[in-house]
Amino acid sequence: MIPGKFEYHVPADVGQAAALLRHYDGEAKILAGGQSLIPMMRFRLAQPEHLIDLSKVPGLSYIEERDGHLAIGALTTESELEHNATIRDRYPILKDATDVIADPLVRNLATVGGNIAHADPANDHPAVLLALRADVVATGVDGHRVIPIDEFFLDTFVTGLEPDEILTEIRIPTAKSGTGSAYLKLERKVGDYAIGAVAVSMVVRDGVIAEAGVAMTNVSPYPVRAVQTEAALVGRPATAATFAAAAETASQECEPSGDNRGPEEYKRAVIRTLAERAFSLAAERAN
Ligand SMILES: Cc1cc2nc3c(=O)[nH]c(=O)nc-3n(C[C@H](O)[C@H](O)[C@H](O)COP(=O)(O)OP(=O)(O)OC[C@H]3O[C@@H](n4cnc5c(N)ncnc54)[C@H](O)[C@@H]3O)c2cc1C
């Protein structure tokens, strides 16, 4: 289908983009890679009166380590993440995720900022950023603010961004020594959204799990950290027995609903298996 009528704006910088958002007061939407928004507009699930295209806004696409975190500009594409050496060597969970997002054509356009601003529980980056305890930088006409990722996803397709705010940066704490992370996803076919997926980041010291962040994809109404599963890992030895027990907790803690990707029980079983493998892979990488 063809999208409904809209006015198209191309601001030259973030300030202009934020001013347009404020001016159109809830009637405008940011356009980044368009890989989620345009399909929704074609199906008339979204009918914004104004589109504010960020593609000519400079300085929003970068991946750099500074001041104790990895900073990723909101307009950084999936392919840029996929081929970045720092990501590959030091943040393997991000590489795991980008590798299984859609297909190369989509990854050339889709942005990381758009992936989380869309707040689709089926998208892959929310769980990864929850497990990594990232922060999100929001910019509006009045300046910046930092939103902890735990406060960012409020409901299905709903975030903590104000209607006149733009997501400009994602900050991930620099990986400490002894950190291992992994993201494992099961999909019906290559390029599809997850039947289920598990993201984990853990710090292992002297064979014991000192810290853990766990979140799951497409098995809850909106992205949220799996706190019971984290508690089943922290303070315990990084062994197969711990991982099996924590994976069982994950399968109980998730809230899948039956759909064309399978019934609830099947999804719980998928999560159990993926979680056990992801915990084990993260511990191996921590070494
Ligand atoms: C065929 C296909 C397969 C896909 N498979 C997957 C998959 O397996 N896993 C997965 O995670 N995703 C998948 N996607 C979805 C897509 O990859 C993501 O949702 C995409 O990354 C969104 O980013 P975008 O830049 O295209 O955002 P857009 O579509 O431009 O925007 C999405 C939403 O976020 C808002 N937005 C975007 N950027 C900002 C910003 N900087 N500040 C504030 N609001 C903003 C927009 O207003 C809009 O509401 C798939 C998409 C397609 C078309």
Each residue of 194-215: pLDDT tens digit? 999 999 999 999 999 999 999 9
Say yes or no: CB of residue 132 within 6 Å of ligand 1: no
Atom of ligand 1 nearest to the CA of 29: 47
Atom of ligand 1 nearest to the CA of 138: 42
Structural domain count, the chain:
3
Both 84 and 160 in a single domain? Answer: yes
Name which residue sits closest to atom 4 of ligand 1, judged by CA. 102
Q: Provide mean pLDDT across the span 251-277.
A: 97
Please list the residues that pair with 108 across neighbouring strands: none
Give the C-alpha separation, 162 to 183, whole Å.
30
Name which residue sits closest to atom 49 of ligand 1, judged by CA. 118
Q: How much is the mean pLDDT over the chain?
A: 96
What confidence tier does 2 reach under pLDDT thresholds 50, 70, 90? confident
Query: Closest by alpha carbon to 108, among 143, 87, 83, 135?
Result: 83
Q: Provide mean pLDDT across the span 161-181.
A: 95
Atom of ligand 1 nearest to the CA of 187: 8
Start-to-end CA span in the chain (Å): 51
CATH number of the domain to which 146 belongs: 3.30.465.10
Quick check: is 1 in a domain? no
Instruction: Give the domain extent around 213.
Output: 179-286
Both 131 and 227 in a single domain? Answer: no
pTM: 0.97
Both 69 and 159 in a single domain? Answer: yes
Say yes or no: CB of residue 31 within 6 Å of ligand 1: yes
CATH number of the domain to which 12 belongs: 3.30.43.10
Q: Is 170 helix (H, G, I), strand (E, B) or coil?
A: strand
Both 117 and 92 in a single domain? Answer: yes
Name which residue sits closest to atom 40 of ligand 1, judged by CA. 167
CATH number of the domain to which 185 belongs: 3.30.390.50
For residue 174, the one-letter residue type is T
Quick check: is 29 in a domain? yes
Quick check: is 2 in a domain? no
Q: Which residue among 173, 190, 216 closes a domain?
A: 173
Q: Provide mean pLDDT across the span 84-100.
A: 95
Both 26 and 85 in a single domain? Answer: no
Say yes or no: CB of residue 118 within 6 Å of ligand 1: yes
Name which residue sits closest to atom 23 of ligand 1, judged by CA. 114
